[in-house]
Amino acid sequence: MSARGRSRPTVAVQLREEIRTLIAELGLVAGDRVPSEAELVDRFSVSRPSLREALKLLEEDGTLLAVHGRGRFVSGRAMLSVERPITHFESVGAMAAACGYSLSSRVVGFETVPATERRAAMLGVEDGAPLLAVARIRGHEGRDLVYSLDLIACEGLGAIGEAADWADSVNSALVLRGIEPVMARAAASATHLPTEAAAKHGLEDFGPALLIEETAYTATGRAVLHSLVYHRGDAFRFSFARTPNAR
């Protein structure tokens, strides 16, 4: 399965967004009834099956609740909508930009290390296999906001290049090598920076950090990147929705 994207969204996907917009325009809130299928078919000039497919997407993502014989209703879930939730896969740079930070980045570590047993398991490589370790500090207006350590499996990577190639975005550097991380499995906890890193890079006043440790995968499920990202506690706040059936 090559990672070729679709050039044009299907009617169903497009409609899903248009219905979302309509719900907002009509000012519908949790419990309110959505226009009927017949009305929506007229309004959007599409066939009923296509509309139903779009509605199915919205039912599955928790926006709508269908009741046979009565209609569809806005689910309370819709009001939990969060722009760029913690569950959104994106680069640290993009995330920070959305928070109003323009991050400049410097590489403070760039070496090849053998994979520990744990890291090997995370990245699906052999114990002891070579990993590229990139340590970076990113900041905004002279203030350090993020310390991160990225571990990339060298296997299949091709030429490693120079530290500067990886300074701004490890994701982008991987994409340039034909490896596109698109999703990740992550865990968050509160901690301090590693003592050694703090001392070595003058980060003693970093304060509590929100550590997100994550393994990133390509669309085909190949693990390509293991990151430990320490976000300065007083600079970042990650939003998300909590629901009973979240998986």
Dmax (CA) for the chain in angstroms is 67
220 lines the binding site for DNA (CB under 7 A): no
Exactly one of 34, 122, 145, 229 binds DNA (CB under 7 A); that residue is 34
DSSP 83: S
247 lines the binding site for DNA (CB under 7 A): no
**Which segment (77-85, 107-115, 147-155, 194-202) binds its own copies by CB under 8 A?**
77-85
Handedness of CA 240, 234, 168, 130 (dihedral sign): negative
52 lines the binding site for its own copies (CB under 8 A): yes
21 lines the binding site for DNA (CB under 7 A): no
Q: What contacts 49, CB < 8 A, 6 or more positions away? A: none
Query: With respect to DNA, which residue has the nearer C-beta, 57 or 197?
Result: 57
Rounded distance between C-alpha atoms, residue 46 and residue 149, angstroms: 49
Residues 112-151 that bind its own copies (CB under 8 A): none
b (16+ CB within 10 A) / e for 135-152: bbbbbbeeebbbbbbbbb
88 contacts 182 by C-beta, under 8 angstroms: no
Contacted by 159, from its own copies, DNA, none: CB < 5 to 8 Å by type: none
181-to-163, 176, 224 alpha-carbon distances in Å: 20, 11, 7
Q: Rule CB under 7 A: which residues touch DNA? A: 4, 6-8, 10-12, 34, 36-39, 46-50, 52-53, 55, 66-72
The contact set with its own copies (CB under 8 A) reads 1, 4, 6, 10, 12, 29-31, 33, 49, 52-53, 56-57, 59-61, 65, 67-68, 73, 75-77, 79-82, 85-90, 182-192, 207-211, 214, 217-221, 231, 233-234, 236-244, 246-247
